[in-house]
Structure 1
């Protein structure tokens, strides 16, 4: 029997306007994630919040004990919801996430969060490799603009590229509206 949990990755203040690393579409993605969170709460399904705390030398956002590192109000955890702290893009690396999922008997993950091209990607790939069935709510995620070897890619293109890549093997892609329906 399948048991789902919602994983909300790094929807934190620094990614929103006024933060130290604002992402295009963070407000829209945060609003979609909030709708998915509300659905999971109403249906009594488990929710796990992932909060990145930067400890790497030279980091400039998600710094310990800063407002920017706090989980954004749009998906603020309730007292009974688990918050897993992480220091790496992969939410499983050196964290209690797998233990929490095992305690809950979860074998299917519904994933939302930020950034599509970093922590959402790393966590989804790791989860699939560990045997979890993964569904990514693509419009409840957003990415950053990138540049490589003189080629610039806007955040929409980066997000689409990572969602397409994950959707080829690692996860089912779904919109927030379809998931809730």
Structure 2
């Protein structure tokens, strides 16, 4: 695997509100936060650009709504803001894709000659997947570090219910099998980026 010298790490919605299990339900991959932190550290150490994405929910009941403590980044992300040798960008959004936030992520990346993005964060099957799909549609080389993402159990139509692991695996299969992104593990990305 090759990670470009200017590949952008896109850290999606690593916010305190996702710790509210009473709202979200059971999550998977308890090691995701450690892997996300490791990737941020690697990007900052190697001087690559990091994009921090924050979801500003417009739903009044959401733990991610503006003005509520859950909207803030998790502590380990806040501790890393501004610590790297590379450029950083904050993107805020009210929908699933970081490419539909402010400022315009796609335009910023293209203006800087960045063609590869590594996507990590929360939730695997929601904002991570949507960002990865749009990135692929926009012509970026997209890598998703699967074990640096997590999600929650989910109910669907017809009484169907899937565990967080099943939902995350289905998302990974769709992204990888559908050609939107290469789905890999954190260690592969870190080893290639060093």
Same fold (TM over 0.5): yes
Match of 1:150 in 2: 159
**Matching of residue 118 in structure 1 with residue 142 in structure 2:** no
Kept in 1: contact 2:91–2:101 (CA 8 A) = no
Match of 1:69 in 2: 71
Instruction: Report the Cα offset of residue 59 of structure 1.
Output: 4.1
Instruction: Report the Cα offset of residue 23 of structure 1.
Output: 5.4
Aligned-residue CA RMSD in angstroms? 2.0
The correspondence of residues 28-43 of structure 1 with structure 2, limited to 5 A, is 28-43=31-46
Instruction: Report the Cα offset of residue 25 of structure 1.
Output: 3.5
Instruction: Report the Cα offset of residue 19 of structure 1.
Output: 7.6
Q: TM-score, normalised by structure 1?
A: 0.90
**SS in structure 1 at match of 2:37:** helix
Match of 1:140 in 2: 148
- Using the alignment, how far apart are the partners of 1:118 and 1:157 within structure 2? 14
Structure 1 residues 171, 98: CA separation in 2 closer, same or farther (over 3 Å shift)? same
**Could you list the runs of 5+ residues in structure 2 that have no partner in the other structure?**
none
**SS in structure 2 at match of 1:117:** helix
Instruction: Report the Cα offset of residue 103 of structure 1.
Output: 3.5
- Using the alignment, how far apart are the partners of 1:137 and 1:104 within structure 2? 23
Kept in 2: contact 1:31–1:74 (CA 8 A) = no
Match of 2:108 in 1: 100
Q: Note the alpha carbon deviations across 1:73-129, whole angstroms, 9 max, x for none.
A: 222222762111101001111422123213432110000011111101111111100
Larger mean CA deviation between 163-172 and 69-78 belongs to: 69-78
Query: Which structure 1 residue ranges, 4+ long, deviate > 4 Å from structure 2?
Result: 17-20
**SS in structure 2 at match of 1:180:** helix
Q: Note the alpha carbon deviations across 1:46-91, whole angstroms, 9 max, x for none.
A: 00000000114x5422111211011112222227621111010011
**Could you list the runs of 5+ residues in structure 1 that have no partner in the other structure?**
none
Q: TM-score, normalised by structure 2?
A: 0.85
Matched pairs, number:
180
- Structure with greater proportional helix content: 2
The correspondence of residues 53-64 of structure 1 with structure 2, limited to 5 A, is 53-56=56-59, 58-64=60-66
